[in-house]
Amino acid sequence: MILTIRRFGWFVADQFARRGIENKRAREIALKSSTRIATLAMLEKLGMSAQDLRKRKKVLDEVRERIIVPTVRAKPSEVMRKCTAAAMQTGDVLVYPTFGGRCRNPYFVDQDKDRMGTASRPWQIDSWAAMVIVDSGRAFDFLAWYRPLTLAWRWRKSRA
C-alpha cells in the first residue's frame, strides 16, 4: 500500500476523497509530492498546447481541492447482510449466443454500443456456445462462485 500511495499518490488520495474515506497518509503524500507540477512540465515538453495545459491544470487544481477538503458521505456505504443467492448449481448447462467467438458484454445495455473493435459493426449473434458448471460454492460461506467448463470448437470448411 505504501508503494502504491507514493507512486500514485494523487490518484489514491483523490479516490479516497471521492468516497469519503479519511486517509491522512495518502493526503499528506499527495500534497507533498510535486507530481502535479512535474506532470504539467512533462506535458509541456511533450508538446501539449497551452490551451490543453490550462485545462489539465484546472483538473489537477480540482483534484487538489478535493484532497484538501474531502467530501463527507451523507450515509455510509451499504454492507451485504445476506448471502448472495446461487444462480447456478453444479451440473447446470447454459447455452448462450456469441459474436465472433465472444459473448455479449452485459455492461452495454444497448447492443449497438457493444463492438468488437473501434471500427467494427455492432454485436450480433453469429454463433452459439455452451458451458457446464463443474463446481460451485461459497467464498467465506457468503459469496457464490462458479467454475464453468466452456465448450469450444471450430467449424472447418468441408473440402470439395
d(CA 20, CA 35): 23
**44 vs 160, more confident:** 44
What's the mean pLDDT in 131-148?
90
Answer for the pair 134, 151: CB distance below 8 angstroms, yes or no: no
- One-letter amino acid of 18: R
d(CA 12, CA 10): 6
95: closest CA among 84, 106, 103?
103
138, pLDDT greater than 50 = yes
Q: What is the pLDDT of residue 73?
A: 64
Query: What cell was used for 156?
Result: 472447418
109: closest CA among 129, 123, 92, 99?
123
Q: What is the pLDDT of residue 116?
A: 61
Query: What cell was used for 24?
Result: 491522512
Task: Quickly list DSSP for the chain.
Answer: -HHHHHHTHHHHHHHHHHTT---HHHHHHHHHS-HHHHHHHHHHHTT--HHHHHHHHHHHHHHHHHHHSPPPPSSPPP---SPPP----TT-EEEEEEETTEE--TT-SSGGG-BSSSSSPBP---EEEEEEEEEEEEETTTEEEEEEEEE---PPPPP-
What's the mean pLDDT in 6-19?
75
Per-residue pLDDT reduced to its tens digit, 84-105: 788 899 999 998 888 877 887 7
**Portion of the chain with pLDDT greater than 70, in percent:** 74
d(CA 128, CA 92): 17
Listed by start position, the domains of the chain span 2-68, 93-151
